[in-house]
Amino acid sequence: MRQSILCLGECMIEMADAGGGLYRRGFAGDTFNTAWYARRMLPADWSVSYGSCIGTDAASAEMAAFMEGEGVDTASLRRVKDRTVGLYMISLENGERSFSYWRGQSAAKTLADDPAWLEAVLKDRAYIYFSGITLAILAPTAREALCAALARARAAGSVIAFDTNLRPALWDDQDTMRKGMLAGAAVADIVLPSFDEEVVLFGDATPDETIARYSGLGARIIPVKNGGGALTLWDAQGIRPFAAEAVATVVDTTAAGDSFGAAFLAGLATGQSTDTAAQGAMALAAKVIQSRGALVPAIFEGETQ
């Protein structure tokens, strides 16, 4: 296996609230945010790649150039004619996000439409990371094809990580979303759920119920995030809680879970215990939510990769 983490999904043009009715353009998206943070958490001998589809227009080219400039390998991007990249706008109120989306012509919706390309992209990766959004943007048959390809990659030795990351507006209905989450978790070694979302989708009363469901599907590591509450971690050593990092002021919760996933995988990839990886992930997420936007370069200023 190559020392490589591949993140699969959709990167979009981000219009982030800059205050005073102004917006700042950037490029972001849950799994790309994870790739961006993972690149900064991993040593140089590890590669971080982004697997997706983009268009052949100027916006797509600018996105690819941005990724390359940030150290994320773009060899796993597939260009699709007559498509472009999606756009979303973030509005903030008391640190909490609301989103408006424009993704009708997003090339990323064709992520699983070329089986040969997909198999080649997944081959020999040490870690492969995807999310509930990755699944939600796909047509039902494409969703099944992606999960089947991930199952084959897992059988070949890749560690598959799945962040449930619910976006109800992207799904046809609650039942379809529930089945999608279970299908994604069933092909994953690591499942990264958020407890508040599990309460809504499955009616869980405790994180232990969340862990029971995903461990029953075959996951072997499950950190259950809980916003500002304690993290509940489960692996072969059992269940244990970790107190949340103290945060003075929450500015923007964008990419809290994405950065957590990046630091958690980076920790595991470099030989840390699950406990140490979880603590590092919580520390990074706590820093991210104290700044505006999905990507926060200031956190890493003065540090080397």
Catalytic residues: 258
Q: Give φ, ψ of 126 to 5 degrees.
A: -65, -45
Q: How far apart are CA 44 and CA 51, in angstroms?
A: 19
The b-or-e profile of 286-296 (16+ CB within 10 A means b, else e) is bebbbbbbbbb
Q: How far apart are CA 12 and CA 50, in angstroms?
A: 13
Please name the residue that has the structure tokens 């140490």: 276
Going by C-alpha positions, the residue among 79, 78, 64 that lies closest to residue 32 is 64
Asked if 88 and 101 touch (Cβ cutoff 8 Å), the reply is yes
Please name the residue that has the structure tokens 């529930």: 178
Going by C-alpha positions, the residue among 201, 133, 188, 197 that lies closest to residue 162 is 188
Please name the residue that has the structure tokens 């916003």: 227
Q: How far apart are CA 270 and CA 127, in angstroms?
A: 12
Decide: helix, strand or coil at residue 86. Answer: coil
